[in-house]
Amino acid sequence: MSFFDVVFYLFAVITTLAATGVIVARNPVHAALFLVLAFCSAAGIWMLLEAEFLAITLVLVYVGAVMVLFLFVVMMLDINLLKLREGFWRWFPFGAGLAGLMVFEMIWVLGSRQTSEVSVAVTHAADYSNTKELGRLLYTQYVYPFELAAVILLVAMVAAIALTLRRRTGVKTQNISEQVKARKADRLRIVKMKSETKV
């Protein structure tokens, strides 16, 4: 067993245990943290396959941004855990049956594959940059789908703003620009009065 295998199995075991932790943890915050662990060890496996860019993106995007957001939401929402757990045993046979079917299918599909088809990961020289290669592909061969993905993000932005932006009337908010623009002459009126004379 080479060093490579040892590291692979280490990460694989951590990923599997963490993934199990996500679904069995009672506390949703713990579940989210387990998911972070699963992502980190999956990134480790990708690193072993020389997919540095994917590994770093996984950590930056999923662990750094998505999961933090997730944790915020979980902490801010008041989730009634007892209610979520209701009906677990009632649906258990259905879920177990479905899971069994999936396992059977996977064994069938993977088992039928000839061993020669399983290819070994290609190794590259140390100065090979896979970020550069990905970038080159994205902007040449895959430029059309890449731009389409950008359009989809634009749609998501338009949709999110259209669905959540509410201009409520009658709300007492300060209009800063109006305040700054105000001059003394607009607010203050100096009234000249004759001084009173004694009767």
State the residues that interact with other proteins by CB under 8 A: 105, 108-109, 112-114, 117, 141-145, 148-149, 151-152, 154-156, 158-159, 161-163
Phi, psi dihedral angles at 129 (to 5 degrees)? -105, 115
Q: Which is nearer to other proteins, 156 or 182 (CB)?
A: 156
3-state class of 67 per DSSP? Answer: helix
What is the closest distance, in whole angstroms, from the C-beta atom of residue 158 to other proteins in the complex? Answer: 6
> What would the DSSP string read from start to end of 29-49?
HHHHHHHHHHHHHHHHHHHHT
What is the closest distance, in whole angstroms, from the C-beta atom of residue 161 to other proteins in the complex? Answer: 8
Q: Which is nearer to other proteins, 150 or 182 (CB)?
A: 150
Query: How many other C-beta atoms lie within 10 A of the C-beta of residue 8?
Result: 16
What stretches of 34-100 adopt beta strand conformation (E)? none
What is the closest distance, in whole angstroms, from the C-beta atom of residue 10 to other proteins in the complex? Answer: 27
Q: Which is nearer to other proteins, 5 or 147 (CB)?
A: 147
Side chain identity at 86, as an amino acid letter? E
What is the closest distance, in whole angstroms, from the C-beta atom of residue 164 to other proteins in the complex? Answer: 9
Q: Which is nearer to other proteins, 6 or 102 (CB)?
A: 102
Side chain identity at 148, as an amino acid letter? L
Burial 33-48 (b: 16+ CB within 10 A, else e): bbbbbbbbbbbbbbbe
Is-contact 62 39, C-beta < 8 A? yes
Q: Which is nearer to other proteins, 88 or 108 (CB)?
A: 108
Rg (CA), the chain: 30
What is the closest distance, in whole angstroms, from the C-beta atom of residue 82 to other proteins in the complex? Answer: 24
